[in-house]
Amino acid sequence: MLRIEHLQKTFGSQPEPVLQDFQLDVAPGEFVTLIGPSGCGKTTALRIVAGLLGQDSGEVWVDGKESTGPSRDKAIVFQHFNLFPWRTALSNVAYGLEIQKVPKAERLRAASEYLGLVGLESHARHYPGQMSGGQRQRVGIARALAINPKLLLMDEPFGALDALTREHLQGQLARICQEKQLTCLFVTHSIDEALYLSDRIVVMGVRPGRIIAEFPVTLAKPRAEYNFRAEPDYARVRAEIWSLLENQMVRAESARS
């Protein structure tokens, strides 16, 4: 569903590229997470895939077609909610369909369906200022899903939330992705979040930003239905990823000093 080939990106006069020879394939229905220290290029890669940022070289392909900008095939959810404060939850979710000139009755019907999918059907007439942070982020997820994208991109969507809300929304996202067979490229700093959600975890290194390791996550799904953290594979993979990340952070600190 997603193919990234030899991405290269440098900002301004920086001596080293933010991304160097970045290559990744994501299969249909696969949930892949990018994880790495701050500054390794996770968000840059995601924004290039979304078409919000240009690359110096390399190509992005979505569903077999070269993707050079924003398109209906892709939807992105950011860390911050980015809702229109003057629109209700229902109207916010319908916005992408409105841009696509979908008839009003049809787009409101779809928006209502996706609000129900994230458990907010009773908040359809609420404005963002009347909802909690977790509820606003669920509206953002519903808005992304409502356009029926082939590829869902998520940039630390739960990073600004409290721990309980974050875990609750992780469970909802896992359920939705499994039910809808969504293809997702997800960015996080949390190893535990990555292990909860992912089919595969891609670890990135710094200076320059690149892929240094990949880990298939073989823990059975749905993971909310059992204590997956007690599984030996969970502890093993978590320890290996942490060791890689710790080494990369030490290298980054040494380079700055």
Residues 231-240 pLDDT 10s: 999 999 999 9
pLDDT at residue 12 in the model? 81
CB-based contact 226:82 (threshold 8 Å): no
Where b means 16+ CB within 10 Å and e means fewer, 195-234 reads: bbbbbbbbbbbbbbbbbbeebebebebebeeeebeebeeb
Please give the single-letter amino acid code of residue 239: A
* Of 147, 89, 152, 150, the residue nearest 118 (C-alpha): 89
Q: What percent of the chain has pLDDT over 90?
A: 77
User: Average of pLDDT values for 5-25?
Assistant: 90
Cβ-in-10-Å burial (0-12, 13-18, 19+) of 179 comes to exposed
CB-based contact 206:36 (threshold 8 Å): yes
pLDDT (tens digit, 9 = 90+) per residue, 113-139? 999 989 899 999 999 999 998 999 999
Instruction: Compute the mean pLDDT over every residue in the chain, rounded to the nearest whole number.
Output: 92
For the chain, give every domain's residue range.
26-39+149-201+212-256
pLDDT at residue 254 in the model? 72
CATH class of 26-39+149-201+212-256: alpha beta
pLDDT at residue 203 in the model? 97
Tokens representing residue 206 in the block = 């710094």
pLDDT (tens digit, 9 = 90+) per residue, 74-97? 999 988 778 999 999 999 999 999
Report d(CA 105, CA 49) in Å as an integer: 32
pLDDT (tens digit, 9 = 90+) per residue, 29-57? 999 999 999 889 999 999 999 999 999 99
Report d(CA 157, CA 93) in Å as an integer: 16
Band the pLDDT of 215: cuts 50, 70, 90: very high
Band the pLDDT of 255: cuts 50, 70, 90: low
